[in-house]
Chains A and B, each alone.
Chain A
Amino acid sequence: MESKTFWECNKAYILTALGLGVVGFVFVGFLMIMDWGYLIQFTLHAMMGDTSGVMSAPTSELEQMVNAAFGPAYNTVAPEIIRASNERQEYIWYVFFAEIMIFVFLYVKNGRITPTITRPDDMVQVLTPFQRTVIWLNIGMIMMLVVTGFNITWSLRSEGGDIPRLLREFHELTGLAWISIWLIFTVIAAKDLKGWRKNTTFRHILPGSFKPSKRGIWFFYAAMGAGLCFSGAMIITLHPSSLTHADVIQFRRVLLYLHFGASVLIMFFILDFVYASAVSVKGYLKGLWSGEYPREYLEQVAPDVLEDLKKAGRV
């Protein structure tokens, strides 16, 4: 009985973790040529404050010179970047295609809920100005980050030039600004972790009861965001000069890896959110802007939100 409840309550997390585990295993085991042993050792050294990447004392003058000039173990991380950079422009489509196909499958299987609204004037104030500000800032910045970020990945199509360069520069600036939004989500996710299945602080951003499966999206969103904010901000601040090159470059190679990986993964959760809020049910975009939703819409699509508002005495 106990275990059944546990499975039911945490199905979403377990399935997501399993799915990511399988994808990760195939990716790491079969598609990558990076030296993972070195990477793990390097990460441990970096956490102790040594980012030089030198794992063992050099045994020859040549090795010593190579370490001093170029940073060591160039081949362990770089082949991935070299190979991936142009090939991923060709192949990353397949990852997005697969991600989209999952939602197409769900759509075909589950169809779409379209609420019938007979009393369009019976409106309920759902979102406060603060909530709308956070939501729109998040939507705007994420769209900007996705477009400007993948603008870098697919530069072979744009062939570079001033506009793609400006977009890339805006990626860095928007990324730094987005850290504040990510922090809000992370604080909420951290608070929710304490209450786990009982209470959700997410309703401060989006009202509703947020069943564990629904909260899963936001936990992963916060986690992937952490990877993106950490690696992005570090890439911006840790810029090697010609003198500090050897100490910094290996670490930055790993950071770029983390950033690209997290950006592809966060796309899944962004698509999931778009699917849940606008495809699987007919969305009500106007409400996101005005904060008001027809009562019937809430009754049919989001009764938990209505319940939540009643409890708070706002309806």
Chain B
Amino acid sequence: MSRMKFYCDDYRCIDCNGCVVACKEAHEIPVGVNRRRVITINEGIEGKQKSLSVACMHCSDAPCQKVCPTDCFYIRTDGIVLHDKDKCIGCGYCLYACPFGAPQFGHEGIFGVKGVMDKCTFCAGGPDETLSESEFEHYGQNRIAEGKIPMCASMCSTKALVAGDAAEVDKIYEYRTAKRGANTSLKPYGWEAYNNGK
């Protein structure tokens, strides 16, 4: 069974925010809602600055799905985590549960209170009829149905951001780390900390 995943290569990401803009543009996302964002640490410190592009990670055991009181999430057979905006009540509990801050809320409700949740769909639309107008309006483009990869990954200029079947993403990752060879650690950073149980 395939599992669709994103991987952001911190050795390549240059904090250009192209993925953020591409996503907003492709799905016509309103101001204040960012399905994707770029995080930078140690900004300006030479050799130590690192950036990472983050969106919904389409968790295999998704906490948002567990916490949603209306049970409006569903996980496709390819592992993409989607939700039904017609059921969502905008309570925000998925945001409390998500470790990645992926769920987003605009303020389009009565008197500007927060409306229903919006998040990265892996460019796979939603429960509405595939490639219909209503699907686009609610969830944005359905590039997966068109046989394309997500917009962010497809336009990433350094190809730091890759998306697709986890096994394929893993091959790219292995190839890159092997190619970097002795200059860099073969392990992803944080691996030691992970092994130390931190």
Interface on A for B, CB 8 Å cutoff? 59-65, 68-71, 74, 78, 81-82, 85-86, 89, 152-156, 158-161, 164-166, 168-170, 172-173, 235-236, 239-243, 245-246, 249, 252-253, 256
Q: Are B67 and A160 in contact (CB under 8 A)?
A: no
Consensus secondary structure, chain A interface: helix
Q: Are A173 and B111 in contact (CB under 8 A)?
A: yes
Once A159-B87, A164-B89, A239-B105 are accepted as A-B contacts, the answer to whether A60 and B192 lie under 8 Å apart by CB is: yes
Q: A121 CA to B11 CA in the complex, in Å?
A: 88
Q: A235 CA to B114 CA in the complex, in Å?
A: 11
Q: Are B37 and A242 in contact (CB under 8 A)?
A: yes
**B82-123 CB contact bits vs A (8 Å, 1 = yes)?**
000011111111011101110011010111011010000000
Q: Are A249 and B32 in contact (CB under 8 A)?
A: no
Q: Are A240 and B110 in contact (CB under 8 A)?
A: no
Q: Closest CB-CB distance, B157 to chain A, in whole Å?
A: 21
Q: A7 CA to B100 CA in the complex, in Å?
A: 53
For B70, the chain A residues whose CB sits under 8 A away are 155-156, 158-161, 164
**B136-152 CB contact bits vs A (8 Å, 1 = yes)?**
00000000000000000
B179 contacts the other chain (CB 8 A): no
For B58, the chain A residues whose CB sits under 8 A away are none
**Count of A-B contacts with CB under 8 A?**
132
* CB nearest to A155 among chain B residues: B69
Once A65-B41, A85-B66 are accepted as A-B contacts, the answer to whether A159 and B99 lie under 8 Å apart by CB is: no
For A173, the chain B residues whose CB sits under 8 A away are 110-111, 113
> 21 A-B residue contacts at CB 8 Å?
A59-B198, A63-B198, A71-B101, A81-B93, A85-B67, A85-B69, A85-B97, A86-B67, A152-B69, A153-B69, A159-B87, A161-B70, A161-B87, A165-B109, A173-B111, A239-B105, A239-B114, A246-B101, A249-B95, A252-B96, A256-B93
Q: Are A61 and B189 in contact (CB under 8 A)?
A: yes
Interface on B for A, CB 8 Å cutoff? 32, 34, 37, 39-42, 50, 52, 54, 63, 66-72, 86-93, 95-97, 99-101, 104-105, 107, 109-111, 113-114, 116, 189-190, 192-194, 198
For B194, the chain A residues whose CB sits under 8 A away are 62
Q: A75 CA to B107 CA in the complex, in Å?
A: 28
For A82, the chain B residues whose CB sits under 8 A away are 63, 66-67, 97
List 10 tightest A-B contacts by C-beta distance, closest first.
A62-B190, A160-B70, A160-B87, A155-B69, A60-B193, A245-B101, A242-B34, A165-B89, A155-B70, A85-B67
Consensus secondary structure, chain B interface: loop
Other 11 A-B pairs with CB < 8 A, given A70-B101, A168-B91, A169-B113 = A63-B193, A63-B198, A70-B100, A71-B101, A158-B70, A160-B69, A160-B70, A165-B90, A240-B101, A242-B34, A245-B101
Q: Are B193 and A169 in contact (CB under 8 A)?
A: no
Once A65-B41, A65-B52 are accepted as A-B contacts, the answer to whether A165 and B193 lie under 8 Å apart by CB is: no
Partner of B110, one of A158, A159, A166, A256: A166
For B95, the chain A residues whose CB sits under 8 A away are 240, 249
Task: Count chain A CB atoms within 10 A of each CB in B50, B89, B194 and give the residue with the most.
Answer: B89
For B92, the chain A residues whose CB sits under 8 A away are 235
Partner of B116, one of A59, A71, A165: A165
For B50, the chain A residues whose CB sits under 8 A away are 61, 65
Q: A82 CA to B63 CA in the complex, in Å?
A: 7
Once A155-B70, A166-B110 are accepted as A-B contacts, the answer to whether A69 and B101 lie under 8 Å apart by CB is: yes
For B107, the chain A residues whose CB sits under 8 A away are 239
Q: Are B90 and A243 in contact (CB under 8 A)?
A: no
Q: Are A156 and B71 in contact (CB under 8 A)?
A: yes
Q: Are A168 and B89 in contact (CB under 8 A)?
A: yes
Partner of A155, one of B89, B189, B192: B89
Q: A241 CA to B114 CA in the complex, in Å?
A: 12
Task: Count chain A CB atoms within 10 A of each CB in B67, B91, B92 and give the residue with the most.
Answer: B91
For B190, the chain A residues whose CB sits under 8 A away are 60-63, 65
Once A60-B198, A69-B39, A161-B86 are accepted as A-B contacts, the answer to whether A156 and B101 lie under 8 Å apart by CB is: no
Q: Closest CB-CB distance, B184 to chain A, in whole Å?
A: 13
For A168, the chain B residues whose CB sits under 8 A away are 89-91
Q: Are B39 and A68 in contact (CB under 8 A)?
A: yes
* CB nearest to B90 among chain A residues: A165
For A253, the chain B residues whose CB sits under 8 A away are 96
Q: Are B97 and A78 in contact (CB under 8 A)?
A: yes
Q: A242 CA to B38 CA in the complex, in Å?
A: 9
Q: Are B101 and A169 in contact (CB under 8 A)?
A: no
For A172, the chain B residues whose CB sits under 8 A away are 113
Q: A82 CA to B64 CA in the complex, in Å?
A: 8
For B39, the chain A residues whose CB sits under 8 A away are 65, 68-69
Q: A89 CA to B92 CA in the complex, in Å?
A: 17
